[in-house]
Amino acid sequence: MLRPVVISSQDGAYFLFGGEKMKEQLISISAAAKTAVEACENEAQIEEVRVKYLGKKGELTAILKQMGGLSPEERPIMGQLVNQAKQELEALITDKKEILKQAARDEKLKAETIDITMPAKELKVGKLHPLNTVLDDMINIFQSMGFDVVDGPEVETDYYNFECLNVPADHPARDMQDTFYLADNILLRTQTSAAQIRTMENLKPPIRVICPGRVFRADEVDATHSPVFHQIEGLVVDKGVTMCDLKGVLEQFAHEIYGKDTKVKFRPSFFPFTEPSVEVDVTCSECAGKGCRVCKGSGWIEILGAGMVHPNVLRSCGIDPEEYSGFAFGIGLDRLTTTRYKISDIRLLFENDKRFLDQF
Ligand code: PHE
């Protein structure tokens, strides 16, 4: 490719000789470089080769430095040849680098192969306590009927827990055996009904609230009794509220929680703060009313107490019973939970045994 250079003087012979020699050198360096590139096995090696031939002190770069010894005619031709050789080598190195990179990647992937048949580690996710699951359902149902959720204190005064609720001083519920007294007039609330009074003191009718919470009674502990349990108090006060509204709301509630086919029975009962008062039973969800172990053969399960708010109670909260009327109910959350999940012992709800809780 090197064109014959015109020899114009004795110097010319030297230049031609110089050019030929450089050309040979270039060819042999290029060949050696190509062999070296081909022999590379990893990226570090190829980088070494690149520095050796193309680096600042590399062999091809060194040739360029000898160009000063060439004739002006030879110089551009030689320069072109060296550059061409450099470009070829650069391209070769880039290609080889890519091949080696790909090979390294394949190798790595092969080494990291995931065994998808291996069983995964079980991830433990926290869950709601069954009482909370049922409570959330109940709150949803009542909120959809327009009820607000309110809260009340667990440590109550005698006034809110009994007196204001029309419970006379000699009522058995006030007996020392049923109530945990903390001091003379301070006690652990025995019913969420105390929240009725606090609500009526703070809100003006129309009132539509539920108050879920813990209640306490000095009961002997067994499979169906616990000194701590849960109620959801409901209270509605407005003009013209009747027993029909009470029945409608509670029937709707029972159907939502137990299903449309559930029958609801209102039994006359007595509570000092409601008149008339009822207790509400629903057909046993386990046997659909036929009678089984869960309902103790009766086919019915009692789920709540309710009634029309007693005029004395309205009056003591500053609400005129001639103008307003209302109903209240108190649902037992624990019974609802044990029947829904077929839990045979109420104590399981409070012991927090992980083996029990993990089943929900
Ligand atoms: N507080 C009553 C109880 O604990 C239930 C109840 C609430 C009854 C509201 C009537 C009205 O048994």
Secondary structure of residue 149 in the 3-state scheme: strand
**E-strand stretches of the chain:** 148-149, 155-157, 186-188, 207-216, 228-238, 264-271, 274-283, 300-309, 325-332
Question: What is the whole-number distance in angstroms between the Cα of residue 157 and the centre of ligand 1?
Answer: 17
What residues does 326 pair with on adjacent strands? 237
- Tell me which residue has its CA closest to atom 10 in ligand 1: 306
Q: How far does residue 305's CA lie from ligand 1's centre (Å)? A: 5
CA of 121 to the centre of ligand 1 (A): 48
Query: In degrees to the nearest 10, what's the CA dihedral of 25, 27, 31, 34?
Result: 110
Say which CATH superfamily domain 130-357 falls into: Bira Bifunctional Protein; Domain 2 (3.30.930.10)
In a 13 Å sphere around the CA of 193, the CA atoms on its Cβ side amount to 28
pTM given for the model: 0.67
Give the residue, out of 171, 191, 313, with the most ligand 1 atoms within 8 A of its beta carbon, to mutate for a pocket test. Answer: 191
Which atom of ligand 1 is nearest the CA belonging to 330? Answer: 7
Q: Which residues line ligand 1 (CB under 6 A)?
A: 191, 193, 271, 274, 305-307, 328-330
pLDDT tens digits for the chain (360 residues)?
444 443 333 443 334 456 777 888 888 889 999 999 999 998 889 999 999 998 888 888 888 788 877 888 888 888 888 888 899 999 999 999 999 999 889 989 888 888 888 888 888 888 899 999 999 999 999 999 999 999 999 999 999 999 999 987 887 767 655 889 999 889 999 999 999 999 999 999 999 999 999 999 988 888 888 999 999 999 999 999 999 999 999 999 999 998 898 999 999 999 999 999 999 999 988 888 888 887 888 999 899 999 999 999 999 999 999 999 999 999 999 989 998 888 888 999 999 898 999 888
Of 228, 271, 279, 304, best ligand 1 pocket probe by most atoms within 8 Å of the beta carbon: 271
User: Quick one: tokens of 256?
Assistant: 């939502």
Instruction: With H, G, I as helix, E, B as strand and everything else as coil, classify residue 319.
Output: coil
Inter-residue contact 324 to 314 (CB < 8 Å)? yes
